[in-house]
């Protein structure tokens, strides 16, 4: 068995040979002989002479290999009071049948299809059906405001749109069809058809002839066969928020993505055929694309599609129940999910009702994992917890603990080591490498490994300006961090979360770690606010654990002293507010830019459509102004 140092070195010294070896583990219609060819911008086009179909690799291959009756997908929805399972054969047949419906609507290779769906099996079926035909899907988070959906429709220019009659948010039914109709009315580009999956909680009113009832129409078509795709053909567009307000359409290729995901299932997660993986995210995010839908199925594992929350559906034991019910081997969610569980059940009393005997590892990503959350989760579950770092743009982990090769000791605050294929450097503003333990910009030496973004949809100049121009020969991640003496990578947050206090560059992430260590704190954020004298000073915001009777003023003073003791007076943290809520995206990321605007008293706020609870903005504005 290879060791991590050997495999990592091989991936950097001989990348073409290394990744061609990994590619041999997949089914190709035409196996690639060329690892990559360099594009003019310094990035790589992976396996340019290879041909495959990702839906075939994820479904048909396993059926043909004799594992058609193995469970492929488990649907668990406490909000709809519904559970269902699909074998690989059943899922393959459902995908082929729906692909036949798309084909009947003249969807072909290269056409775009927008998918606006809740967390139901039909969302995954729609994605896989597009992949089967070679259509480029663009999944938009279900529940996005009509304007945001309209912007994405205009950018992707889809041939048709796929939706459901409604989503369910805890105990509230949200009709989707009126929002879709509004979005199409706003958009300049008009999709030819809208295919609607009718849910019993809310029936949508269809507009003939544009709108098509999924359930009735799909029974009248012939299942579609797989389209042969070049490895370099686009698989999907996934929009991520941009600094200009216009969303960026990250483009993912087919072959490189398939190879990278298959490799990561073993190397990063230690998941093999027949294992059960619970990724508690949404198909509207990159985590859902990679590790709810495509990654587990490519590996022949069983994936769980969960329509619910970590808490309130019905309580903070949801993850533990599913781990027990379905014999989950690997659990993956965002740190904010575990902080929510910790807040509602700090003593983990609900966990006593369930057995975690099958669970081997817990993974967290999507935002910085603070050491207290890591340590609490380890303590109450008795399971190892692994932080790992990646981005929408990368599509799969950049830094992780490579348990499938060599498992390393966990260092709280670190996402461990670069994954094979990623040549990570910590750079100073002038592009030179900094010393160990010195913070800088986290960059990846080109070419990027397979699976990473290939461009921004319809905007190659934006791709180059946004990612390739800051440091010549490097992909700029936009994150800051450092490597320690052992090569462990510590991601300290976005580079704009480094604040400049009287000439001293200080990490707000480091201060958040210190605040989170207090036993009364469930969640926190530190932001830099404008100061006439020092340029910027930090401001702390904390949420206390349920049942904590701590005095807010006493807690604030204690936390200020903690930061002073750990960092020194230079930190200049003088105020910590105890708040009931923090503004977050639906994926759980704290909206720090919005917090900075509120703290600075700005009237024109950049409130993104992805905000989970708009009402908390006014609450915070009032509290901060007091």
Instruction: Give the mean model confidence (pLDDT) for residues 193-221.
Output: 97
Average pLDDT over residues 589-611: 78
Q: What is the pLDDT of residues 6-27, one digit of tens each?
A: 999 999 999 999 999 999 999 9
Residue 45 is given by DSSP the state: E
The listed range with the strongest mean pLDDT (143-152, 416-425, 596-605) is 416-425
Would you state the pLDDT for residue 138?
98
pLDDT digits (tens, 9 = 90+) for 296-306: 999 999 999 99
Long-range contacts, 603-607 (Cβ 8 Å, 24+):
606/245
Q: What are the structural domain ranges in the chain?
A: 4-308+388-480, 502-625
With contact defined as beta carbons under 8 Å apart, do 529 and 536 qualify? Answer: yes
Tokens of 283: 């198909």
Residue 174 has pLDDT above 70, yes or no: yes
3-state SS string over 95-123? Answer: HHHHHHHHHHCCCCCCCEEEEEECCCHHH
pLDDT at 251 over 70: yes
CA 458 to chain centroid, in Å, comes to 23
- Choose among 42, 105, 54, 145: nearest CA to 448: 42
Which has the higher per-residue pLDDT, 617 or 397?
A: 397
Percent of the chain predicted with pLDDT > 70:
95
- Residue 215 has φ and ψ, to the nearest 5°, of -60, -40
Q: What is the DSSP string of 456-521?
A: ETT-HHHHIIIIISSSTTEEEEEEEEEE-TT--EEEEEEGGGEEEETTEEEEHHHHHHHHHTSTTE
Averaged confidence pLDDT in the chain: 92
Question: For residue 244, what pLDDT is reported?
Answer: 46
Q: Which helix (H) or strand (E) holds 87?
A: strand 82-87
In tens, the pLDDT along 578-588 reads 998 888 876 67
Topology, domain 4-308+388-480: Rossmann fold (3.40.50)
At 241, the pLDDT band (50, 70, 90 cuts) reads low
How confident is residue 270, by pLDDT bands cut at 50, 70 and 90?
very high
CATH of domain 502-625: 3.30.300.30
* Structure-model confidence comparison of residues 609 and 229, the more confident one: 229
- pLDDT above 60: residue 247: yes
**What pLDDT sits at residue 9?**
97
| Structure tokens that stand for 324 in this block | 């027990």
Please state the rounded mean pLDDT for residues 426-442: 95
Determine the pLDDT at residue 243.
45
Whether pLDDT at 1 is above 70 = no
More confident residue, 503 or 336: 336
Q: What pLDDT, in 10s, does the model give residues 465-510?
A: 999 999 999 999 998 899 999 999 999 876 666 666 655 557 787 7
Residue scoring higher pLDDT (519 or 567): 519
Helix (H) / strand (E) containing 73: strand 71-77
pLDDT the model gives residue 626: 67
Query: Residue 134 in contact with residue 227, Cβ under 8 Å?
Result: yes
With vertex at residue 275, the alpha carbon angle to CA 4 and CA 303, rounded to the nearest 5 degrees, is 110
DSSP summary character for residue 333 = E
As to burial, measured by CB atoms within 10 angstroms (0-12 exposed, 13-18 middle, 19+ buried), residue 547 is: exposed
Helical spans, DSSP H, in 240-334:
255-267, 286-288, 295-299, 318-326
The Cα–Cα gap between 264 and 272 comes to 11
Q: Is 519 exposed, middle or buried (0-12, 13-18, 19+ CB in 10 A)?
A: exposed
pLDDT score recorded for residue 503: 52
């Amino acid at each position: 068995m290879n060791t991590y140092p050997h495999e990592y070195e091989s991936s950097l010294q001989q990348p073409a040979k290394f990744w061609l070896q990994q590619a041999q583990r997949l089914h190709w219609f035409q196996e690639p002989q060329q690892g990559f060819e360099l594009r003019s911008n310094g990035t790589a086009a992976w396996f340019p002479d290879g041909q495959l179909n990702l839906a075939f690799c994820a479904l048909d291959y396993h059926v043909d290999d004799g594992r058609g009756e193995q469970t492929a997908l488990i649907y668990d929805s406490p909000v709809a009071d519904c559970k269902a399972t699909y074998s690989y054969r059943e899922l393959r047949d459902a995908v082929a049948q729906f692909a036949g419906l798309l084909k009947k609507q003249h969807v072909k290779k290269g056409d775009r299809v927008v998918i606006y769906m809740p967390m139901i099996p039909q969302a995954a079926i729609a994605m896989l059906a597009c992949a089967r035909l070679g259509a480029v899907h663009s999944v938009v988070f279900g529940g996005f405001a009509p304007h945001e959906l309209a912007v994405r429709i205009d950018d992707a220019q889809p041939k048709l749109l796929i939706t459901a009659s409604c989503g369910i948010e805890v105990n509230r039914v949200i009709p989707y069809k009126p929002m879709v109709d509004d979005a199409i009315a706003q958009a300049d580009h008009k999709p030819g058809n809208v295919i609607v999956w009718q849910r019993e909680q809310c029936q949508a009113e269809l507009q003939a002839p544009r709108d098509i009832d999924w359930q009735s129409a799909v029974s009248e078509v012939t299942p579609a066969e797989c389209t042969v795709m070049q490895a370099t053909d686009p698989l999907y567009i996934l929009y991520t928020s941009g600094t200009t307000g216009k969303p960026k359409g990250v483009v993912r290729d087919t072959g490189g993505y398939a190879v990278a995901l298959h490799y990561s299932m073993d190397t990063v997660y230690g998941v093999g055929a027949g294992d059960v993986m619970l990724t508690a995210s949404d198909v509207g995010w990159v985590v859902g694309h990679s590790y709810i839908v495509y990654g587990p199925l490519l590996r022949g594992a069983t994936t769980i599609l969960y329509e619910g929350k970590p808490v309130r559906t019905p309580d903070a034991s949801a993850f533990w129940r599913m781990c027990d019910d379905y014999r989950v081997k690997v659990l993956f969610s965002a740190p904010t999910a575990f902080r929510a569980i910790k807040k509602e059940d700090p003593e983990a009393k609900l966990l006593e009702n369930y057995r975690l005997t099958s669970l081997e590892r817990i993974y967290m990503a999507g935002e910085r994992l603070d050491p207290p959350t890591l340590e609490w989760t380890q303590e109450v579950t008795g399971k190892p917890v692994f932080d790992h770092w990646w981005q929408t743009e990368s599509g799969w982990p950049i830094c992780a603990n490579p348990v499938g090769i060599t498992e390393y000791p966990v260092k709280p605050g670190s996402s461990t080591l670069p994954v094979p294929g990623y040549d990570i450097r910590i750079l100073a503003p002038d592009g030179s490498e900094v010393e160990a333990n010195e913070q800088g910009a986290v960059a990846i030496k080109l070419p990027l490994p397979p699976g990473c973004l290939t461009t921004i949809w319809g905007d190659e100049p934006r791709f180059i300006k946004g990612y390739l121009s800051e440091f010549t020969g490097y992909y700029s991640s936009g994150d800051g961090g450092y490597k320690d003496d052992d090569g462990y990578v510590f991601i300290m947050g976005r580079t704009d979360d480094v604040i400049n206090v009287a000439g001293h560059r200080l990490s707000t992430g480091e201060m958040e770690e210190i605040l989170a260590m207090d036993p009364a704190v469930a969640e926190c954020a530190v932001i830099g606010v404008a100061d006439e004298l020092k340029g910027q000073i930090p401001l702390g915001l904390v949420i206390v654990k349920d049942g904590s009777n701590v005095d807010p003023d006493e807690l604030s003073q204690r936390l200020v002293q903690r930061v002073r003791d750990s960092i020194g007076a230079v930190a200049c943290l003088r105020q910590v507010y105890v708040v009931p809520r923090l503004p977050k995206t639906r994926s759980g990321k704290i909206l720090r830019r919005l917090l900075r605007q509120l703290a600075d008293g700005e009237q024109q706020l950049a409130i993104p459509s992805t905000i989970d609870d708009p009402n908390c903005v006014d609450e915070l504005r009032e509290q901060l102004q007091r």
